[in-house]
Amino acid sequence: MSKVLPVGCSGIRLQRGSRVVLDVPSLVLGNAACTAIVGPNGAGKSLLVRTLCDLQKVDQGSVSWAGRAPDWPRRRRVGLLLQRPVLLRRTALNNLLHALQLAGSARADAFVVAQDALQVAGLGALVDVLAHRLSGGEQQRLALARALVLKPDMLFMDEATANVDPASTLAIEQQLTNAMSDGLKVVLVSHDMGQVRRLADEVVLMNNGCVVEQSARQHFFEQTNNPISRRWLAGELLVT
């Protein structure tokens, strides 16, 4: 199946009224197992993620998946997990079965894969519970399990653990670590610098719709000379 990595953009510009909300001349993601996108509220992090997923149209510029424009056959190779999970009003098991069967799996095969995925997510005892009756953390673990069973090349996560309990956050991070060891590329939007330190190989700092810095995690946290990055790390408020 055709791959999507690396994912990148060129000459991206999006304007709302008189304000430019996204201005990224060039960005390529794909070499690091996990890239964390950080920055203040309103920096353009979510807009960038939606643009790279080909869900947000821009005024100028282009997005590329493995050197080509995004296309429908490869959309299943790009996953997206949001702060509030979007789940079907079905059982935990049937949420996964539905996704797998839409992707072409036979029901018998999908049943085995889905049950195994729920066990890995720590939801094995909840297979027959309706998704909307699960706790917030359990719902997010289910949403992640559903994304991972489709074996995407890249998974974008937009503050996916912001409202999740510590136990579920740990379970989610373990799921991600295991998936990354199997070749998954994760792009993580997060305000949790502890999580960024635990998971990320590289960090992208955004401010005012622009990419301020893209560097390896250790360099970003310990060696950056970028004045805006240093202010962000020092806890200063970045304002226009």
| pLDDT at site 240 | 59
Taking only Cα atoms into account, the Rg of the chain, rounded to an integer number of angstroms, comes to 18
| pLDDT at site 2 | 73
| pLDDT at site 237 | 84
pLDDT tens-digit readout, 155-196: 999 999 988 999 999 999 999 999 999 999 999 999 999 999
Cα angle: 65, vertex 37, 146; to 5 degrees: 65
| pLDDT at site 234 | 92
Q: What is the pTM of this model?
A: 0.94
d(CA 67, CA 94): 36
Short-list 113, 92, 79, 74, CA closest to 184? 79
Short-list 207, 209, 214, CA closest to 228? 207
Mean pLDDT of 37-65: 95
198-234 as b/e, with b when 16 or more CB fall inside 10 Å?
Answer: bbbebbbbbbbbbbbbbbebeebbeebeeebbeebbe
CATH class of 7-233: alpha beta
Q: Determine the length of the chain.
A: 240
The domain ranges of the chain are: 7-233
The model's confidence at residue 20, banded by pLDDT at 50, 70 and 90, is: very high
Q: At which residue do the structure tokens 């949790």 appear?
A: 192
| pLDDT at site 1 | 57
Mean pLDDT of 205-209: 96
Instruction: Give the count of alpha carbons within 13 A of 161, CB side only.
Output: 24
| pLDDT at site 30 | 85
| pLDDT at site 96 | 97
| pLDDT at site 230 | 95
3-state secondary structure of 21: strand
Cα angle: 59, vertex 65, 68; to 5 degrees: 80
| pLDDT at site 211 | 97
